[in-house]
Amino acid sequence: MLRRTLLAALPALTLPLLLPALAGAQSPRGGAVPPRDQPALLARAEAYLNSITTLKARFLQLAQNGGTAEGTAYIARPGRMRFEYDPPEPLLLVASDNQFLYYDRELKQPSVVPVGSTPLGLLLRREIRFGGDIEVMEVTRSGEALGITLRRRDNPAEGRITLVFSEAPMELRQWLVVDGQGRQTRVTLSAIETGMPLERRLFTFNDPRFFEEERNR
* Tens digit of each residue's pLDDT (9 = 90 or more) over 33-43: 999 999 999 99
**Which residue, 214, 191, 213, 203, is CA-closest to 55?**
191
**Which residue, 145, 163, 194, 149, is CA-closest to 17?**
163
Q: How many CA atoms lie within 13 A of 140 on its CB side?
A: 15
- Kindly list the domain boundaries of the chain, sorted by start residue: 2-211
| Record: fold of 2-211 | outer membrane lipoprotein receptor (LolB), chain A (2.50.20)
- The span from the CA of 144 to the CA of 21, in Å, is 9
Question: At residue 205, does pLDDT exceed 50?
Answer: yes
| pLDDT score for 29 | 54
Amino acid at 131: G
The size of the chain, in residues, is 217
Amino acid at 178: V
- The span from the CA of 22 to the CA of 10, in Å, is 26
Average pLDDT over residues 87-113: 88
Minimum mean pLDDT among 4-8, 45-49, 103-107, 154-158: which range? 4-8
Partners of residue 60 on adjacent β-strands: 70, 188
The 10s digit of each residue's pLDDT in 102-151 is 888 888 888 888 887 777 788 899 999 998 999 999 999 988 899 999 99
Q: What is the pTM of this model?
A: 0.82
Cα-to-chain-centroid distance, residue 46: 15
Give CA angle at 114 (123, 56), nearest 5°.
35
